[in-house]
């Protein structure tokens, strides 16, 4: 059997259904980056981390408090876009605030003069004039998402399954060798509707318990990629 035939067989074993496969609506070209060289067979499950190129905080023009936010950094779990920090409780030389992500969802609560870290990290310092309820800041986060083989032990955001590798960037649907510390473009399933075979997926060695595998399947299903065993017994409805 030729290599092409072998890889085609592998792809068909992994991806059992993909909506509008001919136009690739479930696929994207993504950038992978690994600390050490890795081999990606078709079906490698990928996590995602965020690499910021700039993080810019801006105080709202009408703020009453004179404290400052200082340097803000983005963690690997950050999202591209604009975060909002808003004072929700005023206090003398203190106060409480919320942080909302670029989708508008509240991702955490913090206290003035206490270090905060959840997607973004900073310390909101107290000033001569106390903050009042409604004082706010925006934080513009610019950067790129990079993918890597998912590992349960990762702390940079890539412990969450976000995609499945299906092809080198040339569309050959072949195994890729990923060089260490090198940005490499590949093609991945990043959304559904799609159905894949559970037993055909490849993931990091730290995903070695039933609970961790169930978590991985649930994360893929959250983006529309359904994981099934004995896939032949499930009818596909057009």
Q: 196 by DSSP, 3-state: which? A: strand
Per residue in 128-144, pLDDT (tens digit) is: 999 999 999 999 999 99
Contact 70, 125 (CB under 8 A): yes
Is the pLDDT confidence value at 22 over 90?
A: no
Per residue in 93-115, pLDDT (tens digit) is: 999 999 999 999 999 999 999 99
Per residue in 35-74, pLDDT (tens digit) is: 999 999 999 999 999 999 999 999 999 999 999 998 999 9
User: What is the model's pTM?
Assistant: 0.82
As a whole number, the mean pLDDT across the chain is 92
Boundaries of every domain in the chain: 3-45+146-233, 51-143
The confidence band for 6, taking pLDDT boundaries of 50, 70 and 90, is low
Measured over the CA atoms of residue 164, residue 143, residue 111 and residue 154, the dihedral's sign is positive
Distance CA 206, CA 150 (A): 9
Q: In this predicted structure, what is the pLDDT of residue 113? A: 96
């Amino acid at each position: 059997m030729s290599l092409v035939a072998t890889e085609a067989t592998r792809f068909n074993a992994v991806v059992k259904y993909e909506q509008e496969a001919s136009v690739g609506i479930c696929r994207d070209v993504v950038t992978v980056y690994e600390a050490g060289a890795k081999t990606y067979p078709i079906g490698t499950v990928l996590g995602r981390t965020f690499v910021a190129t700039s993080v810019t905080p801006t105080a709202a023009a009408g703020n009453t408090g004179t404290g400052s936010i200082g340097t803000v950094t983005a963690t690997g779990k950050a999202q591209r876009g604009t975060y909002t920090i808003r004072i929700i409780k005023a206090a003398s030389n203190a106060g409480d605030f919320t942080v909302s992500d670029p989708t508008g969802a509240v991702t955490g609560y913090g206290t003035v003069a206490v270090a905060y870290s959840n997607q973004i990290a900073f310390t909101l310092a107290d000033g001569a004039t106390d903050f009042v309820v409604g004082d706010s800041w925006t934080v513009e986060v610019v950067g790129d998402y990079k993918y890597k083989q998912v590992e349960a032990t990762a702390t940079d955001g890539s412990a969450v399954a976000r995609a499945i590798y299906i092809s080198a960037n040339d569309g050959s649907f072949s195994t890729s060798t990923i060089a260490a510390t090198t940005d490499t473009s590949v093609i991945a399933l990043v959304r559904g509707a799609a159905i894949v075979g559970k037993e055909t997926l490849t993931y990091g060695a730290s995903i070695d318990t039933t609970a961790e595998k169930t978590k991985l399947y649930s994360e893929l299903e959250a983006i529309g990629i359904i994981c099934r065993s004995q896939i032949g017994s499930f009818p596909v409805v057009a």
